[in-house]
Amino acid sequence: MMNFKVKDSGLLAKLAEKLHAINHLPRWAILSIDIGTVIFSLLITYFLMNIWGIKEFGSFNTYLTFSSLVGIVVFYLYVFKVSSGIVRHSSIRDIIKISLATFSALITILVLNYGYYFFKGQFLDPEKKLVFDPPLFFFILLAFLMLSLFRFYVKLAFLMFLKFKDDKVVKEVMVYGTDDSAVAIGNVLNETISNGFSVIGFISSQKHPSNSRILGKKIFSIDKIIQSDFMNKRIDGIVFPDEDMRADENQDLINQLIQKKIKLYHIPFQSFDETNGIERKNIHSLEIEDLLYREQITIENDAISQRHLGKNVLVTGGAGSIGSEIVRKVAQFKPALVVVVDQAETPLNDIKLEMEKKHPEIKFVFHLANVSNKYRIEPLFKKYNFSMVYHAAAYKHVPIVEENPHEAIYVNIMGTRILADLSNEYKINRFVMISTDKAVNPTNVMGASKRVAELYVQSLQEKENNTTKFITTRFGNVLGSNGSVIPLFRKQIEAGGPLTLTHPEITRYFMTIPEACELVLQAGTMGQGGEIFVFDMGEPVKILDLAKKMIKLSGLEPDVDIEIKITGLRPGEKLFEELLSDQSKTLATHHEKIMRAKDVTMPYVVMEKQTKEIARATVKKTKNELVQMIKDLVPEYKSQNSEFECLDANPENIT
């Protein structure tokens, strides 16, 4: 690979360090330099006109006209904000501004001269035709050139001195594409002092003449690029514009590049800025999340804004991966108050510091409490007039919950019941519950407890005198969440392996945290009460393929550098997750990524009685007895790879 470290060049290196430390000159300093440049251009013009024997040249007869010419040009430099840019980041836009300013100055001078000539007849020699006067045009042209060259040479100086900077490791990369976005990225990468990348060429999927170039860099065909010998000898990686990284038609190419262990980078659109450049921290190595990311969803911001603007909102589990993202999304719609509840102290403090910094204009309350403790939760409903409740608090790690069904009942079932009952009692407008695909045909305690919570929330919709709209959202695994397999795999790869996989055939659905939370807000807004909304999770992903791809993205070889070890299914784990039960059907909604599940429901009186009995049983019943009570309430719950399988074979086998 072609990583290199530029050697120290004494005085030049020190100068480069000082130049690099300079942020930018103040606007007044640049304006002063521009004024000096205009004056110098006029003096040069005056000097040359004398040499060329032009003794009388209208505009330069007096100090007054001399000052007027300078003043008019400087005025237009100010009007077009020529001096407001950062000189070392000058671009074609700055040249256009200079040309507009100087051309406007020329037109203004001509108009003033002719106006004065016609009305006074003394400003110019009546026998001269100013419009053909060479000195004026020469002055304007010289001012334009000198103002432009000043910016060009300052920019060039920064680029030249960059290579003398100490400890500067430069990666030689190519940019994928030849369109405007690729060219813009190539231009900024080459011109930004701190990014640490040097563009040596562009990659095209189409044929170009062999001598074709962009920004002076050669265009290479994609066929040549995927040759491993060429890649290993020539470049350190490929930079993709974000839209090309996400494009479906490029996924096969990206997979080929990964197979060849080629380092891939991408630049999120929001990180690109022609004025300030691209910092190294904004040029991301390709991660597995990028490959699983799907087409950007569209949400109805106006409708969501109406539900949150100026309202009071409660988010439970607000320090978790899903809950904290809901807090971030809700804050964008300017609510009056956001109350965040979680029992994890440190993560709660983290989201507190983040929100207070990002949204000082919004009032936040961070409440450390367990949702199963009604005496800690009800005062919030009494004190604040909530409009929306987002219930994301839950125990979700399948193996842990399988061993502790008592806690699953406390938090997942009773915590949900407490919040839903309080929402009904205090006439909250909308209650949105975050559920999981593991609640469908559950095979573990976690999924079954969430299914009981779903049933209870749905039953409340039909309770007499209820005015709250109870809405449930159901989706699969979320990339980067605390329970996701991806952070675990990443840690195992960093440790050198082995990478542990429970079964070679296990598959899961995935979506990103922002996408999931945007759909939660959308579903919460569009729901009319009693629905279970199921999200379009795309195609299921085989975890073994995901593991291999993560290893290759790290520049390693599966089962050579990193071992993949099959450990066997965990308690309660199943091979394939489902979004709908056998008895369910889906109904389309007006949002293409949200479907409505037509599920079996149960009457409120039944759910109230059953959940009360389960709650009382946690005090004195055994694990098997509690799980059997859940199975009686959720008949489709069949345990897999679990100590509770005996209950399915013989319900009387309770100890």
Instruction: Provide the β-strand partners of residue 595.
Output: 534, 588
548 labelled catalytic: no
Q: Rounded to whole angstroms, what are the CA distances from 47 to 42, 54, 462?
A: 9, 10, 93
In this structure, the strands spanning 541-542 and 532-535 are: unpaired
Annotated catalytic residue within 97, 171, 311, 438: 438
Q: Give 10's contacts (C-beta < 8 A, 6+ positions apart).
A: none
Cβ(89)–Cβ(194) below 8 Å: no
Residue type, 494: E
**Cα–Cα distance between 142 and 132 in angstroms, integer?**
17
Q: What angle do CA 93, 97, 101 make, to 5 degrees?
A: 170
Task: Classify residue 38 as exposed, middle or buried by CB count within 10 Å of its CB (0-12, 13-18, 19+).
Answer: buried
Instruction: Provide the β-strand partners of residue 158.
Output: none
Residue entry with tokens 């009904």: 424
User: What is the chain's length?
Assistant: 655
**Cα–Cα distance between 653 and 655 in angstroms, integer?**
7
Q: What angle do CA 169, 172, 177 make, to 5 degrees?
A: 140
Residue entry with tokens 């007895």: 625
Residue 548, phi-psi category: left (phi > 0), alpha (psi -120 to 50), beta (remainder): alpha
Nearest Cα neighbor of 274 from 64, 485, 2, 89 is 89
Query: What is the three-class DSSP state of 502?
Result: coil
Cβ(330)–Cβ(351) below 8 Å: no
Nearest Cα neighbor of 634 from 597, 608, 596, 607 is 607
Q: Where are the alpha helices (DSSP H) in 180-298?
A: 180-191, 222-225, 228-234, 242-246, 251-259, 288-292
In this structure, the strands spanning 469-475 and 430-436 are: parallel
Nearest Cα neighbor of 326 from 343, 308, 344, 310 is 308
Please report the DSSP string for 47-66 in residue order. HHHHHTT----GGGSSHHHH
**Cα–Cα distance between 544 and 321 in angstroms, integer?**
24
**Cα–Cα distance between 391 and 435 in angstroms, integer?**
9
Nearest Cα neighbor of 174 from 190, 163, 158, 161 is 190
Q: What angle do CA 82, 87, 91 make, to 5 degrees?
A: 75
Residues annotated as catalytic (active site), given as ranges: 438
